[in-house]
A = this chain, B = another copy of it.
Amino acid sequence: MSIKYAERMNEAKPSFIRESLKYPADPSIISFAGGNPDADHFPVKAIKDASVHVFENDGASALQYAITEGYVPLRVSILAHMSGRGVDASIDNIAILSGSQQGLDLTGKAFIDKDDVVIIESPSYMGAINAFKYYQPKFIETAMDENGMDMDDLEAKLKANPRAKFIYTIPDFQNPTGRTMSLERRQRIVELAEKYEVIIVEDSPYYDLRFSGQKLPPIKHFDKAGKVVYLGSMSKILCPAMRVGWVLASEEIVNNYVVLKQATDLHTNELGQRIISKYLINEDLDEHIVEINEAYRVKRDIMLKILDEEFPKEIKHTCPAGGLFVWLILPDSYDAQEIFSKAMKEEKVCFVPGDTFYPYGGHKNTIRLSFASMRDEQIIEGMKRLARVMHTYTSSEAYL
Which residue of chain B lies nearest to A274 when distances are taken between CB atoms in the complex?
Answer: B241
A15-B262 in contact given A63-B42, A65-B34, A256-B9 (Cβ < 8 Å): yes
Among A5, A7, A22, A127, max chain B CB count under 10 A is at A5
> Nearest B residue to A14 by beta-carbon distance?
B259
Q: Report A28-44 residues with CB < 8 Å from chain B CB.
A: 34, 36-37, 39-40, 42, 44
A87 lies within 8 A of chain B by Cβ: no
A32 to B335, CA, bound (A): 63
> How many copies of the chain does the oligomer comprise?
2
User: CB within 8 Å of B: which of A41-82?
Assistant: 42, 44, 47-48, 51-52, 55-56, 59-69
Q: Are A105 and B264 in contact (CB under 8 A)?
A: yes
Q: Which of B15, B264, B270 contacts A101 (CB 8 A)?
A: B264
List of B residues within 8 angstroms of A60 by Cβ: 39-40, 42, 44, 239
Assess whether B111 is in contact with A5, with CB atoms less than 8 Å apart.
yes
A383 on interface, CB distance cutoff 8 Å = no
Q: Which residues of B contact A36 (CB under 8 A)?
A: 64-65
* Stretch of A128-136, A210-218, A293-301, A310-318 that contacts chain B: A128-136
A12 to B90, CA, bound (A): 23
> Which of A37, A101, A235 has the most chain B CB within a 10 Å cutoff?
A101
Report the bound CA distance from A207 to B306 in whole Å: 59
Bound complex: CA of A37 vs CA of B60, how far in Å? 11
Contact partners of A366 in chain B: CB under 8 A: none
The 0/1 profile, CB within 8 Å of B marked 1, for residues 81-104 of chain A is 000000000000000001101101
Complex CA gap A70/B22 in Å reads 10
Tell me if B243 and A269 are in contact (CB < 8 A): yes
What B residues does A48 contact at CB under 8 A? 52, 55-56
Contact A3 B264 (CB under 8 A): no
A14 in contact with B258 given A65-B36, A127-B263 (CB within 8 Å): yes
Is A260 located at the chain interface by the 8 A CB criterion? yes
In the complex, whether A13 has a CB less than 8 A from a CB of chain B is yes
Q: Is the CB of B99 within 8 A of A265?
A: yes
CB pair B6 A240 closer than 8 Å: no
Which chain A residues (1-25) contact chain B, with CB distance < 8 Å?
A: 1, 3-9, 12-15, 18, 21-22
| Nearest opposing residue in chain B for A225, CB measure | B1
Q: Given the interface contacts A55-B44, A241-B65, A259-B14, does A134 sit within 8 Å of B109 by beta carbon?
A: yes
- Give A68's nearest chain B residue, CB to CB: B18
Chain B residues, Cβ within 8 Å of A134: 109, 260, 263
Q: How far is the CB of A170 from chain B (nearest CB, A)?
A: 16
Q: Which residues of B contact A9 (CB under 8 A)?
A: 110, 256
- Name 8 A/B residue pairs within 8 A (Cβ), A-sorted: A3-B253, A4-B111, A12-B256, A18-B266, A42-B64, A102-B265, A127-B263, A242-B272
- With A3-B252, A101-B265, A102-B264 given, name 15 new contacts (CB 8 A): A4-B165, A6-B111, A12-B260, A14-B258, A22-B67, A34-B65, A39-B64, A47-B63, A62-B241, A65-B241, A105-B264, A127-B262, A127-B263, A127-B266, A241-B271
